[in-house]
Amino acid sequence: MKKPIRRIIEYTVLILIACIFVFPLIWMIVSSLKPEASIYTDMNGIKALLPSLNPSDWLQSYKELFNRFDIVQYIFNSVIYAVVITGGSIVVNAMAGYAFARFHFRGKKILFALMLALLIVPVETIIITQFTVAHSLGILNTRLAVILPLIANIFFIYLFRNFFKAVPEEVIESVKIDGGNNWTIFWRIVLPMSKPAIATVGTLSFIASWNDYLWPLMVLTDTSKFPLQVAITNINTTEPVFTNQVMSILTISTIPLIIVYILAQKYILQGLGGSGTGIK
């Protein structure tokens, strides 16, 4: 007799907590799927968490949003930034990690110690001088300025290095005997063997670049180059502001992340040692 009651209480508590965690997300999505006025008339009941009962209303706010702003351009920008940063970050950091894992060269120990020491520099605090550097390089208000600072990452180099150290020596030696040089060994043998490391770095750098806000906000002045995150605050402050349209752009910008988190869930936790974007 005692057990079922306990179980009911347990599930009630779990469901209540789950509601606290998901209701903002649900409200965001359903509010993008109803007319502006309904958002506020629905506020007092369960209807607040339901989309418009008339499905023909659903895409109305999205249509208006796409008419008012160049959303396609923002999506394109975000995708370009994320893809180039993710690809660049995999190649550049893997190469450096490979050098530390496999080569004996002058200054290796000092360089490696220096890199680990640099891990303590909080990048968020040096934004001002990063900006003056971008200014001196003459890349302000270019896509390059958004991309370049996010590519090299000490934590990713370290991750690749540790992974490459675990690749058996014999594999590499046998290719060397067959006449392969370092370049072909790296691209043809080592990299294809490193899918878990690539997936981890790829996932983490995709999420970081997709969510990047402050840096693109600082270096870009042309709205046509804005990524979605910057476009969001821009749309949210461009009069007239419609709640359903704001919720639409929030939803649009979140969809790729939902897909990435579902596809790459097993790689997400590896990022603990790196610097998260938020309080993660």
Site residues for other proteins, window 221-280 (CB under 8 A)? 229, 232-233, 236, 243, 246-247, 250, 253-254, 257-258, 261, 268-269, 272-273, 275-280
- The piece of 13-21, 55-63, 69-77, 171-179 that touches other proteins (CB under 8 A) is 13-21
Residue span binding other proteins (CB under 8 A) among the ranges 54-62, 66-74, 104-112, 190-198: 104-112
- For residues 31 to 60, the per-residue mask of contacts with other proteins, x marking binding by CB under 8 A and - elsewhere, is ---------x--xx---x------------
Kindly state the smallest distance separating residue 81's Cβ from other proteins, in Å: 14
Would you say 238 and 110 are in contact if contact means Cβ atoms under 8 Å apart?
no
- Using rule CB under 8 A, residue 127 touches other proteins: yes
Q: How many residues form the binding site for other proteins (CB under 8 A)? A: 84
Residue 56 or 125: the one with the smaller Cβ distance to other proteins is: 125
Cα angle 19, 25, 26; round to 5 = 75
Minimum CB separation of residue 125 from other proteins in Å reads 5
Residues of this chain, 148-167, that bind other proteins according to CB under 8 A: 148-149, 151-152, 154, 157
249 token code pair: 């752009």
Radius of gyration of the chain measured on its C-alpha atoms: 24
SS3 labels along the chain: CHHHHHHHHHHHHHHHHHHHHHHHHHHHHHHHCCCHHHHHHHHHCHHHHCCCCCHHHCCHHHHHHHHHCCHHHHHHHHHHHHHHHHHHHHHHHHHHHHHHHHCCCCCHHHHHHHHHHHCCCCHHHHHHHHHHHHHHCCCCCCHHHHHHHHCCCHHHHHHHHHHHHCCCHHHHHHHHHCCCCHHHHHHHHHCHHHHHHHHHHHHHHHHHHHHCCHHHHHHCCCHHHCCHHHHHHHHHCCCCCCHHHHHHHHHHHHHHHHHHHHHCHHHHHHHHHCCCCCCC
Residue closer to other proteins, measured from CB, 60 or 153: 153
Rounded least distance, CB 39 to other proteins, Å = 9
Q: Which of 210, 226, 248, 267 binds other proteins (CB under 8 A)?
A: 210
Least CB distance to other proteins at residue 63 (A): 21
- Of 56 and 150, nearer to other proteins (C-beta) is 150
The first and second tokens of residue 252, run together, are 């649009």
Q: Does 200 bind other proteins (CB under 8 A)?
A: no
Query: Least distance to other proteins from the beta carbon of 219, Å?
Result: 10
Report in angstroms how near the CB of residue 128 gets to other proteins at its nearest. 3
Residue from 58, 76, 131, 187 binding other proteins (CB under 8 A):
131
For other proteins, which is the closer residue by CB, 60 or 210?
210
Contact between 112 and other proteins by CB under 8 A: the answer reads: no
> What is the token pair recorded at 232?
């969001």
Contact call for residues 199 and 267 (beta carbons, < 8 A)? yes
